[in-house]
Chain A
């Protein structure tokens, strides 16, 4: 079962703290390798909280952990903190402004229980070498 949501990205305080503590550390993955979903969207997805999911857009795909949004409710809107996980799926088009479209990418979310959330360095490395599924 997959749901379609509008993805926005941005800062969270956990993203900031873990980024400064070292992007190679597991805490960074815990803070940013997530997608915040509204309770209503969790219901539609038919998944438990803290389940790994695959997020797919026209531009790419990534595995992250689905968590309940702390700053909600916002049905239909999903949130991945800024970082390499979000950047796997955001719309890179700048439409002649220089600015990629980091907010407002339509994405599909589906349960991927058994697939792991990669650490930031591994994600980028594997992505560059074309080793991601």
Chain B
């Protein structure tokens, strides 16, 4: 017999869909089917059942091959590495639960580490902008129930957040948006005619890297002032028209993504996008929200917010929390050779950092905690596989609109496997022992 687990939370992206149904075998060991998830979310659940999954820690040998080690040995190596280092980097934290993040933060505090999460290569610049000028935001529930003007700026949810449009932004019928997508006007700003743009009413094909100009032009257009004939590749008539569409809405939501955070201008692009939102509030109700990637990157920002006062790039090496993006951020630290050990949990810098930074991880003592085999595990000295959070262990995660949601355990992890939280607790205990010696 099989049984169906309902209301399962998807641990892939920041949309944190909460309506999945997963069919598991009667003994709770095998996961058979996943319903309601997007292609990526379903793959995440099913991959936990991979037959070739690595279930024991392993250490890289001199000749490049792997040797299986025990969890105890892995804990010892990690604790020694962190206590021996003058300034270790503890990076990742976005694909695990808040409970593990809290334990990890305590380790960071005790060993004097730099704590950084994946926002550093994702929405870090958004966080800088928010600290500069604040953010008028809302929840995804409000978007679903109220928003009749949707602006996607530099993001492509059709590919990166596949169910976002159907659950919250374009298609759903809400309390005040009973007509679904026919009652909404959708504008997409992107240098490519993306699949998201193809379902929009208007696509503004901005010249790559010229978002700031176009955002600024919107602010001019709201006030009815004069624009040059073409701004950032867009004829002024289209800008005036789009500005009018936004002003005439009852509730405007601006979603923005890597198109603005990773192009030149970076935090200043988002400053301007927030200013556009503020200006719109002169005419109607408007809110803005970053499209967060990892399912719990928002949560790690929350945890560090309440523990240290800063959402990412927290340098604890002087015994108190310092925060200075550009200095205490992972890629800058690695580029300047300022860290002497690297600990990675719940992310994959090997695949997602510029290669020059990956090489620096390879050159240092390093540990990767990850259920998968990844480019990061390939360059680290020790790889510790753990249970999948959201599949094999529950725990708190924060959705992109800062709403905390409790993820669910669906199946048992392979026998003898630790969770992130358990592993970190053991490391913390061992670190304290070593420091007491």
Q: Which residues of A contact B (CB under 8 A)?
A: 6, 8, 10-13, 15-17, 19-24, 59-60, 69, 71-74, 77, 79, 82-84, 87-88, 90-92, 94-104, 120-121, 123-125, 127-128
**Complex alpha-carbon distance, A128 and B60, angstroms:** 14
Instruction: Contacts A72-B192, A98-B120, A120-B351 given; indicate if A21 touches B125 (C-beta within 8 A).
Output: no
The listed residue (B162, B355, B379) touching A13 by CB distance below 8 A is B162
The 4 closest A-B pairs by CB, nearest first: A98-B329, A96-B326, A92-B354, A16-B40
A84 touches B43 (CB 8 A): no
Q: Which residue on chain A has the smallest CB distance to residue B350?
A: A124
- A-side contacts of B374, CB under 8 Å: 23-24
Q: Which residue on chain B has the smallest CB distance to residue A23?
A: B374
The listed residue (A77, A84, A90) touching B191 by CB distance below 8 A is A77
The listed residue (B159, B191, B350, B372) touching A12 by CB distance below 8 A is B159
The listed residue (B264, B348, B358) touching A101 by CB distance below 8 A is B264
Judge whether B169 is part of the interface by a CB distance below 8 angstroms. Answer: no
Instruction: Contacts A16-B160, A21-B47, A23-B373 given; indicate if A94 touches B326 (C-beta within 8 A).
Output: yes
Give the contacts of B242-292 with A (CB-CB under 8 A).
258-259, 261-264, 266-267
A99 touches B354 (CB 8 A): no
**Complex alpha-carbon distance, A128 and B194, angstroms:** 34
Q: List 5 A-B contacts (CB under 8 A).
A: A13-B162, A23-B374, A97-B128, A97-B266, A121-B375
- Binary contact readout B183-200 vs A (1 if CB under 8 angstroms, 0 otherwise): 000000001111101000
- Binary contact readout B180-223 vs A (1 if CB under 8 angstroms, 0 otherwise): 00000000000111110100000001001100000000000000
Instruction: Contacts A94-B331, A103-B262 given; indicate if A84 touches B208 (C-beta within 8 A).
Output: no
B193 touches A72 (CB 8 A): yes
- Binary contact readout B349-391 vs A (1 if CB under 8 angstroms, 0 otherwise): 0111111111100110000000011110011000000000000
A121 touches B373 (CB 8 A): yes
**Complex alpha-carbon distance, A111 and B332, angstroms:** 34
A78 to chain B, nearest CB (A): 10
B side interface size, CB within 8 A: 63
A90 touches B354 (CB 8 A): yes
B263 to chain A, nearest CB (A): 5
A20 touches B43 (CB 8 A): yes
Judge whether B102 is part of the interface by a CB distance below 8 angstroms. Answer: no
- B-side contacts of A69, CB under 8 Å: 192
Most chain A beta carbons < 10 A, residue from B158, B195, B208: B208
Instruction: Contacts A99-B262, A104-B264 given; indicate if A125 touches B379 (C-beta within 8 A).
Output: yes
Judge whether B325 is part of the interface by a CB distance below 8 angstroms. Answer: yes
B430 to chain A, nearest CB (A): 29
- A-side contacts of B158, CB under 8 Å: 13
- A-side contacts of B128, CB under 8 Å: 97
B124 touches A99 (CB 8 A): yes
The listed residue (A12, A21, A91, A103) touching B259 by CB distance below 8 A is A103
A6 touches B258 (CB 8 A): no
Judge whether B168 is part of the interface by a CB distance below 8 angstroms. Answer: no
- B-side contacts of A103, CB under 8 Å: 208-209, 258-259, 262-263
A97 touches B208 (CB 8 A): no
**Complex alpha-carbon distance, A24 and B377, angstroms:** 11
**Complex alpha-carbon distance, A90 and B327, angstroms:** 20
Q: Which residue on chain A has the smallest CB distance to residue B48?
A: A20
Judge whether B12 is part of the interface by a CB distance below 8 angstroms. Answer: yes
**Complex alpha-carbon distance, A97 and B124, angstroms:** 8
The listed residue (B159, B313, B348, B356) touching A23 by CB distance below 8 A is B348
- A-side contacts of B326, CB under 8 Å: 94-98
B193 touches A73 (CB 8 A): yes
Judge whether B426 is part of the interface by a CB distance below 8 angstroms. Answer: no
**Complex alpha-carbon distance, A76 and B363, angstroms:** 37
Judge whether B50 is part of the interface by a CB distance below 8 angstroms. Answer: yes
Judge whether B83 is part of the interface by a CB distance below 8 angstroms. Answer: no
B358 touches A124 (CB 8 A): yes
**Complex alpha-carbon distance, A37 and B325, angstroms:** 34
